[in-house]
A and B are shown apart, each in its own frame.
Chain A
Amino acid sequence: MKANSTYVRPMGAWWRRNAFYRSYMVREASALFVTLYAVVLLVGLLRLAQGPAAYDAWRASLATPVSIAFHVVVLLLVAYHAWTWIAVMPKTMPFVRIGGRRISDRTIVAFGAAASIVAQLACLALLAWLGWTR
């Protein structure tokens, strides 16, 4: 039997088509900033291995206005990136039930966010106790 030719539309710049796709791309792009910060930390580790002078020079470079501006942007995007992982948590899990009733996705996300905040506060408290301002 004959078949007519069907028309296949090109994908093109699909990520621009709607707000959902655009925010998906921002979510994915935020991973780059996590990578960038990881590189910064790795450089710091390397400088630490190279001795006090190198390490102090590295610390000083972090305190420049450009660096601080960079770190603010990175902090926001890494926090956003962490938030997006919490937001998709329900999609990765089977249904959770307590007392026979299903826990809603919103509750799972709220729990994840709360747990994340508690963990971060605990880390900060630990660092404070270790005297990081020293």
Chain B
Amino acid sequence: MIETDVVVVGGGGAGLRAAIAACEQDPSVRVALVSKVVPMRSHTVAAEGGAAAVVRDDDSLDNHFDDTVSGGDWLCDQDVVEYFVSHCTEEMIRLEQWGCPWSRKADGNVNVRFFGGMKVQRTWFAADRSGFHILHTLFQTSLRYPRIARYDEFFCADLIVEDGRARGVLALVIATGEPVLIVGGSVVLCTGGAGRVYRQNTNAGTVTGDGMGLAYRHGVPLRDMEFVQWHPTTLPGSGILITEGCRGEGAILVNRDGYRYLQDYGLGPVDPWPRVKAMELGPRDRLSQAFWHEREKGRTIETAQGAAVLLDVRHLGKAKILERLPLITEVARTFAGVDAVTAPIPVCPSVHYTMGGIQTDVHCETPVAGLFAAGECSSVGLHGANRLGSNSLAELVVFGAVAGRNAALRARELPRSGIASAERRAEATAAPLLGMLNREKGERLAPLREAMQNAMEEGVGIYRRASTLDVACTKLAELAERYRRGIALDDRSRAFNTEWLTAIELGYMLDVAQAMAHSARARTESRGAHVRLDGFEARDDARFLKHSLARHRGDSSPLIEFAPVTITRSPPRTRTYGGAGVKAEMT
């Protein structure tokens, strides 16, 4: 058993920032950083475009606030957004002081660029490898703190909750399969999103909703799960991300006729170009929805991996492409055989981000005392119905720090009760997990996982209908039942058994997928990334200016409830992009 003070689960941007913040809050606090991968492998590493923070003289916190709230289609908790926008700049400066190689202007100051849905340039970027640089900066900086004890390749299999308080986690040492109890005074979940429940996604293999599943099973609601973001520009087939930063630099999207189709979907007119929040600088949900319509109309091109449109950066010129977009140039060449300097890149939407997640308040604490969550796994109330690009990397450091500080305070203030019951509970939890290794008969893992992913793609896709959602909910219930009856593994070893861990992850994914599908079914309106074609095409503030809350009910389907949204200074308006707008000066 390992004793500590703050247990951080997940070693990505949020987890590392939380661990550092806990140490700075209280130098006597011990932190256990528990991650199923070595931290620099965390999915933060793949983020490309940048992190938002107000820095220009012609920008303001109010602008960032307004862009975020309208981007979220007014489902954001505005007190949370206020806190967020007023702390982004400080965090970006801190990252710079810690060594993050933000791209610079000629005079040595940090440069910022446009991003979708933003009125003024405020996206800090490190070429198009921003997440990579932020993660490595945080990881390498975390090495300065001797009170952060790292438990790399420890897989979190359960939360330990005693007397309504989070006390720690039960982890499996991946190299040996050995269960180990890690106990402390508070737990911070920074386990990332759940995009892998869909077949076509930009995500790494690790993004399986582990923390969401764990918190959910312990009675914490999953909030706003129906809001799933499709990133509009990813490679067909693999789903590999082509950053929004391309569009921030002036890239255009055309269909098979060479036509900039976004003008047909409320994001035009085309000229004058470029304009803020218009055409290709519109928000992600609108762009992905536009693709869906183009495909229905037969105006997309057909590639070997499916339908696509064309993202064209050629007019930016070779020098600018290689300076600002080196990663996607490499990615387009390696994985699509396309030279971005001389040819347009075929792209289509793929699932990218989960706006919803573990319900927390503005202090990042869940309804379970001592249990915190930050980053993509959480729903702190920032993104509402649709996330703006570059708000997520900023969220990691702003709320990672909040969660870490508060977790350190909680660990000290809440009394430590006896460990004995935690140990007994851990043993009871570990037994069936270890039992999975000995199961003789059962389903094969991959077909079950693929069936879930297909059900989500077909039933809970970009556009939803009651009929398709019902099919998905029924199918997921069936798959969950088949999962409970048991998976038979090929791999019986306890040494680095990734098939076993994938099977445990599938359990989390099935729970999360059901929360997503049922929440989507219950929200009979269209808002942000949740759009319907069955008579509920409009936003309905009277009935649905509310967060959805999915509650776990064991083997039966989740209970969906609704909770109010905190509105402070921005009453809901019509969400508009395009129009006459303001000219965008590319920097």
Contact = CB atoms under 8 A, between A and B. Distances in A.
The answer to A–B direct touch (Cβ < 8 A) is: yes
Interface of A: 1-4
A1 B178 CA distance: 8
B462 interface: no
A2 B175 CA distance: 10
B495 A1 contact: no
A26 to B, nearest CB: 33
B495 to A, nearest CB: 5
A2 B172 CA distance: 12
Contacts of B175: 3-4
A21 B19 CA distance: 44
Contacts of A3: 175-176
A1 B494 CA distance: 14
Interface of B: 173, 175-176, 178, 180, 495
Nearest to B175: A4
Contacts of B178: 1-2
A2 B494 CA distance: 12
A2 B173 CA distance: 10
Contacts of A2: 176, 178
11 contacts: A1-B173, A1-B176, A1-B178, A1-B180, A2-B176, A2-B178, A3-B175, A3-B176, A4-B175, A4-B176, A4-B495
Nearest to A5: B495
A1 B173 CA distance: 9
A47 to B, nearest CB: 62
Given A1-B173, A1-B176, A1-B178, 8 more contacts: A1-B180, A2-B176, A2-B178, A3-B175, A3-B176, A4-B175, A4-B176, A4-B495
> Which A-B residue pairs are the 7 nearest by beta carbons?
A4-B495, A4-B176, A2-B176, A1-B178, A1-B173, A2-B178, A1-B180
Contacts of A1: 173, 176, 178, 180
Nearest to B177: A4
Contacts of B176: 1-4
B69 to A, nearest CB: 45
A2 B495 CA distance: 11
Contacts of B495: 4
A3 B173 CA distance: 10
Nearest to A3: B176
A3 B175 CA distance: 8
A1 to B, nearest CB: 6
Nearest to A4: B495
B150 to A, nearest CB: 14
B154 to A, nearest CB: 10
Contacts of A4: 175-176, 495
